[in-house]
Amino acid sequence: MRYVRGLFKPKILPISLLLLLRFRRKLILSLAGIIFATVLIHGQLGIRSSLFDSSISLFSDFAADIVMINKSVVGSPSLRPFNKNRLALLYRYPEVLDVSSVRYGFVRWRYPLNHETRLAIMVGFNPRQKIFTNPEISRQQSLLFSPDRILYDRLSRREFGDVVASYLGRRPTFAFINDQRVKIAGLIRVGTSFSYDASFLASEATYNSVRETSSSEVEIGLIKLSHEADPSKFIETAASALPNDVKLYTLNQFLDLEVEYWDNSKPIGFVFGFNTVLGFAVGMLILYQILYTDVSEHLSEFATMLALAHSSSRLKSIVFRQSLILTFAGYPVGYVLSLCLFKIISSFTGLSVRMSVDRSIICFIIVFAMSSCSALLAMRKLGDADPIDLFD
């Protein structure tokens, strides 16, 4: 037995830990493999989740039970207008408390000091109606009563100009949208997404003026129902009375439609999933190679243990415990590095990349499975441990 005397009473270290501590270089390489896989998997899961969160960040603030959109729409980038009269048809139902319209489309943004034109999302609505649950928007939407006024997203990319600093410096701040001069009346917090790098809100009249669109058209219709009404049953009832060019969704169904669009209709969702699998495979190969080499170099010791009546399951448990030690030692370091990575990504892109509890648990399970697979593969080498070879 090997004893290690520390600050407390003498303790016996398990064989699995002693094997790892014997070769420090291999231990560092093993931990590096675990840390690399943890950061990569965390990063892919976090960015993939931010893709979905950012795509619905604005829509999830809608103060509505039902959403009406053009029937051909499969995601926000493909939002097409429909006639506003479709919304007026819903007033015939007693459970409908209010209907409102939202304009949504891409525009060309130019900040005077930059002289560069960039695409951004412009959202138009009636500031006299409560469209959003976001209190920051509700508190400032009265500023949009004046024409050519917008509420600018403070999380927009820096390339769109030093708008936030100019506004906070109490200087009149102007910009050009589709070559029409507008004034920044306030700041809100929405966030960027994978489809746009800046966004701002305006009145419906300002939107129609800037984009030169008809006031009879709308991209999104919002319907507020009474508390006792069932949104799903209302859709079944109202859908049959509406023209076939529009479709009704509950708010949650509309958000799910947007997430599904980015997850399945666009290759970016597949890319993040593939990179997660790649991180799993790379980490497993690194750890397997090190555990396999460690078992190969200690075959004589394992053969001696078999000669001393230790079972093969006992030998396998040693290898498996090595993978557990590496997992529990490397994952916390990878977790902290992932937090730092998320902060860097958020500061440079404006995307909200957060570390959630469920995502951390999923990542740990993946890393644990990765380590276990590596150990199981390395255990096969134990079959070469034969006590008879000790007498050759």
Q: What is the pLDDT of residues 247-289, one digit of tens each?
A: 999 999 999 999 888 887 767 777 777 888 888 888 888 888 8
**Residue 68: closest CA among 220, 230, 278:** 220
Q: What is the pLDDT of residue 387?
A: 65
CB 29 within 8 A of CB 39: no
231 falls within a domain:
yes
Find the angle CA(286)-CA(22)-CA(279) to the nearest 5 degrees.
Answer: 15
293 falls within a domain:
yes
Residue 76 vs residues 72, 257, 297: alpha-carbon distances, Å: 11, 9, 58
* Phi, psi angles (nearest 5°) of residue 102: -130, 125
156 falls within a domain:
yes
From CA 241, how far away is CA 254, in angstroms rounded? 20
Q: What is the pLDDT of residue 261?
A: 86
Which residue spans within 304-344 are E strands per DSSP? none
pLDDT confidence bin for 9, thresholds 50/70/90: very low
Q: Which of the listed residues 201, 229, 244 is the one where a domain comes to its end? A: 244
From CA 153, how far away is CA 150, in angstroms rounded? 10
Query: In a 10 Å sphere around its CB, with 0-12 CB exposed, 13-18 middle and 19+ buried, how is residue 391 labelled?
Result: exposed
State pTM to two decimals.
0.76
From CA 220, how far away is CA 247, in angstroms rounded? 11
CB 114 within 8 A of CB 161: yes
Helix axis angle for 312-349 and 299-307, nearest 10°, is 140
Tokens of 225: 């129902």
Q: pLDDT for 79-113, tens place per residue?
A: 999 999 999 999 999 999 999 999 999 999 999 87
Number of domains in the chain: 2
Same domain, 385 and 293: yes
Q: What is the pLDDT of residue 46?
A: 85
Q: Can you tell me the mean pLDDT for 227-243?
A: 90
DSSP-assigned beta bridge partners for residue 241: none
Same domain, 36 and 140: no
Same domain, 187 and 48: no
Same domain, 204 and 95: yes
Same domain, 165 and 240: yes
From CA 292, how far away is CA 284, in angstroms rounded? 12
Same domain, 153 and 295: no
Same domain, 77 and 162: yes
pLDDT beyond 60 at 73: yes
258 falls within a domain:
no
7 falls within a domain:
yes
Q: pLDDT for 34-69, tens place per residue?
A: 888 888 888 888 888 887 888 888 899 999 999 999
Q: Which residue in the block uniquely carries the two structure tokens 């930059």?
A: 114
DSSP 33-52: HHHHHHHHHHHHHHHHHHHH
pLDDT confidence bin for 4, thresholds 50/70/90: very low
Amino acid identity at 376: L
Same domain, 228 and 97: yes
Q: Is 390 helix (H, G, I), strand (E, B) or coil?
A: helix
Q: What is the pLDDT of residue 87?
A: 92
**Residue 375: closest CA among 35, 39, 34:** 34
- 89 against 7, higher pLDDT: 89
Q: Are strands 149-153 and 180-188 parallel, antiparallel or unpaired?
A: parallel
Same domain, 21 and 122: no
Same domain, 42 and 102: no
Residue 94 vs residues 231, 237, 240: alpha-carbon distances, Å: 13, 12, 17
Q: What is the pLDDT of residue 344?
A: 86
353 falls within a domain:
yes
Q: pLDDT for 350-373, tens place per residue?
A: 777 777 888 888 889 998 998 889
**Residue 148: closest CA among 120, 112, 177:** 177
Dihedral, CA of residue 77, residue 67, residue 135 and residue 55, to nearest 10:
-30
Q: pLDDT for 140-198, tens place per residue?
A: 999 999 999 999 999 888 889 889 999 999 888 999 999 899 999 999 998 888 778 89
DSSP 350: -
**Residue 180: closest CA among 211, 156, 203, 151:** 211
Same domain, 48 and 78: no
140 falls within a domain:
yes
From CA 130, how far away is CA 128, in angstroms rounded? 7
Same domain, 94 and 206: yes
Task: Give me the domain span that covers residue 275.
Answer: 3-54+267-391
Q: What is the pLDDT of residue 176?
A: 94
CB 379 within 8 A of CB 288: no
123 falls within a domain:
yes
